[in-house]
Structure 1
Amino acid sequence: MRVLVTGATGFVGNRLVPALLDAGHEVTVLVRDADRYSGPADVRVVEGDLLEPGSFDRALDVDAAYYLVHSMQSGGDFEERDRRAARNFADAASERGVERVVYLGGLGSGNDRLSKHLQSRREVEYILGEGDYELTTLRAAIIIGDGSASFEMVKQLAKRLPVMITPQWVRTECQPIAIDDVVAYLVGVLDVPETAGETYEIGGPDVLTYGELLQRTGERLGRHPRIVSVPVLTPRLSAYWVDLVTDVPRSVARPLIDGLKNPVVVEDNRIRELVPIELTPFDVAVERALGDDRSAATLSPSVEPTRAD
């Protein structure tokens, strides 16, 4: 199948492209600067920008397309940028006759007061759903893997702080999923016609609170962080705290932290029957994601500075 991957240089897209090639698909990637793309050589590279209508049309001579674009790192206007990019893509893909689109969105019940980040993910899903193609949506919570912004925040907090003063969101439940499993689902839905036009929730085998997620990640790093929950620490103050302690930019940390108030647990397991994969346990996913960090931690002192250099 001829397949387009948008967001091919991102955390998920970078891993999806070789997996699609291994599955026998012809892959086109859409990037803003072809000279900076360092992915597999046997893909077709097309330059374009989803915020500029007409600049990416020639990438759409495909049967299916993956939409993996979001603008959270661009700053406070990420919702408007995501809205415009999704509309431009939906219009162009419809005009060019793309048959299927696969979108990776975020978990979160519609009955909850979703954070701005999760609301934006849901709005993009709605806009893409207006196109003249069959949309498959996969909704995931935190993705565990090297390069994930949310996991990077968790890793650095667990690694650098022996004691963490946290808001009430540490008691919120989430269902993290390994990046390898996300990629397996993304590739797998193309081979299952029944998934066209449907929305599925994906998650790993473990449901944890964010506090447990922090503690178990710390244990894999040879740390045993103590977590103290207080009711007065707002998302804004939490973002400043994360900015002080980690390398994660505040523009990224704030919307991520704001979303931690929403439980993100799979309630619909239909995808397990349609695309059966062996899900990766949380601790195994963390071991893989940490890689050299875990090895270094076992050799380093147990006390580290609380500010990133």
Structure 2
Amino acid sequence: MRYAVTGATGFIGTRLVAHLTALGHDVTALVRDPRRPVPGARTETVDLVTGTGLREATADADVVVHLAALTHAADPRALTTVNTGGTRRLVAALAAQPHPPRLVYCSSLAASGPGRLRHENDPPAPVSAYGRSKLGGEQALREADTRLPALTVRPPIVYGPGDRHFLPSLTAAARTGLLPAVGRRGPRRYSLLHVDDLCRALLTAAESGTPGAVYHAGDGTEHLWSDIGAAVAAAVGRRPPRVVHLPVPLALAAARTLGRTGILNPDKVGEARHPSWTTAPGTLPSFTPRITWPDGLRSTLSPAPLDIRSST
């Protein structure tokens, strides 16, 4: 099949392109910077902010997987511009094709909102500008449902080879012996998903998902924050870190002072203050996560070449 992938140079995108090319699919990487080649794919330059090049670059695609997104920004309005507005422009370009391709939109559990074992049909309640911007992208798909076969996959925290944020931040915390948590004391729970399992979920959605559907995808386990930190610490030869609870005002002050555009920013503090971000098992047909957290952690810290058998 002919796939087009936005965000193909990012963490998830590079892994998805590797899966697609290993399976023999024809892949077009939709990129902002043509100087960044994507192994195994041809590149087309597009701009989600203006819509430039989108219709031409997707004219022959059977499936478009939309990964490109901002996860943080100094100005929250930039999240809306890229994540909501960019998705609208992509939807419009695809819907205008004589034979529109299937669109698989990679959203986020942040669009659903916090809570334990969130279901796909629970009313969305995002608590961050990022979550609202991703939910806005989902709304763009719904508005075009009579013109475009499109569906949404919402992953939780994604980790794996190429992860530049989640595990590196945890590893740094483990080495200090302190694991920060925002808000009141008590257990904190998260769903996780290895990037290769996310790629499988996206490909399964492309092949057998129902247009108009929203699918959650997690590894099927509620992970305690303290256990996640302990596993990372053990992997780097350290003792389990002590969980340090930061009052919300202090965390917000630190975010404003130290890193409005990085992982530590007020928007992410707004998410981190909630103690649970977990998803109930999703209903995506024929998808079962294969990679457990211990195995996924080991494979991330000692990455091996992608095995084509893991993609099928």
TM superposition score category, shorter chain reference: 0.7 to 0.9
Q: What is the CA-CA distance between 1:226 and the residue it aligns to?
A: 1.2
Q: CA deviation at 1:98?
A: 2.2
1:78, 1:119 → 2: CA distance?
9
Q: How much does 1:125 deviate?
A: 1.5
Percent identical? 22
Contact kept in structure 1, 2:85 and 2:137, CA below 8 Å:
no
- What code does the residue aligned with 1:103 have? Y
Task: Give the secondary-structure state (helix, strand or coil) at the position aligned to 2:28.
Answer: strand
CA offsets 1:65-119 (integer angstroms, 9 cap, x no match): 0110112355322223322211211111111242311011111344645222222
Task: After superposing the two structures, state which structure 1 stretch, 183-192 or 143-152, moved more.
Answer: 143-152
For structure 2, the residue ranges without an aligned partner over 5 or more in a row are 114-122, 304-312
Partners of 2:32 and 2:126 lie apart in 1 by 34
Deviation by residue 1:17-40 (Cα, 9 ceiling, x = unmatched): 121122332211111222221422
Residue number in structure 1 paired with 2:69: 70
What displacement does 1:259 show? 1.9
* Distance in 2, Cα, partners of 1:116 & 1:234: 20
Q: Which residue of 2 aligns with 1:138?
A: 153
What SS does the corresponding residue of 2:35 show, helix, strand or coil? helix
Among 201, 210, 218, which residue is 2:233 paired with?
A: 218
Opposite residue 70 of structure 2, the aligned amino acid is S
Q: Cα–Cα, structure 1 residues 135 and 113, in superposed 2: closer, same or farther, change >3 Å?
A: closer
TM superposition shift of 1:52: 1.9
CA contact (8 A) 1:167 1:234 kept: no
Assess if the C-alpha contact under 8 Å between 1:167 and 1:233 holds in 2.
Answer: no
Could you tell me how far 1:210 is from its partner in structure 2?
2.5
Q: How does 1:67-216 map to 2 (within 5 A)?
A: 67-76=66-75, 77-96=78-97, 97-107=99-109, 108-109=112-113, 110=123, 112=125, 114-131=127-144, 132-148=147-163, 149-159=165-175, 161-168=176-183, 171-192=187-208, 194-216=209-231
Partner residue, 1:283: 294
AA matched with 1:70:
A
Tell me, in whole angstroms, the C-alpha distance in 2 between the residues paired with 1:63 and 1:164: 45
Name the structure 1 match of 2:9.
Answer: 9
C-alpha distance 75-122 of structure 1, shift in aligned 2 (>3 A): same
Moved more, 216-225 or 148-157: 148-157
Answering whether residue 282 of structure 2 is matched by residue 269 of structure 1, we say: yes
State TM-score, norm by structure 2. 0.80
Moved over 6 A (4+): none
CA distance in 2, matches of 1:158, 1:65: 39
Q: Distance in 2 between matches of 1:233 and 1:56?
A: 42
1:263-288, CA deviations, whole angstroms, 9 ceiling, x for partnerless residues? 321224322xx223452111211111
C-alpha offsets along residues 8-65 of structure 1, whole Å, 9 cap, x if unaligned? 001111010121122332211111222221422xx33111211122323211111210
Q: Deviations over 1:235-260 (max 9, x none)?
A: 424536985xxxxx743432334322
Specify whether residues 27 and 189 from structure 1 end up closer, same or farther in structure 2 by C-alpha distance, changes over 3 A only: same
Instruction: State the distance in 2 between where 1:219 and 1:238 align.
Output: 28
- Decide which structure has greater helix share: 1
2:310 aligned residue: none
CA contact (8 A) 1:137 1:200 kept: yes
Q: What is the number of equivalent residue pairs in this alignment?
A: 281
Aligned pairs for 1:1-80 (under 5 A) are: 1-40=1-40, 43-61=41-59, 62-76=61-75, 77-80=78-81
Where structure 1 has 5 or more consecutive residues not aligned to the other structure, the ranges are: 244-248, 293-309
| Higher mean C-alpha deviation, range 169-178 or range 46-55 | 169-178
CA distance in 2: counterparts of 1:232 and 1:34, whole angstroms: 42
Measure the CA separation in 2 of the matches of 1:153 and 1:83: 27
Residue in 2 aligned with 1:300? none
Query: CA separation in 2, counterparts of 1:276 and 1:53?
Result: 33
Query: SS in structure 1 opposite 2:220?
Result: coil
Secondary structure of the corresponding residue to residue 35 of structure 1: coil
2:308: which partner in 1?
A: none
Distance, in Å, in 2 between the alignment partners of 1:118 and 1:285 is 26
What is the alpha-carbon root mean square deviation over aligned residues?
2.5
CA contact (8 A) 2:179 2:244 kept: yes
Asked if 2 retains the 8 angstrom alpha-carbon contact of 1:235 and 1:258, the reply is no
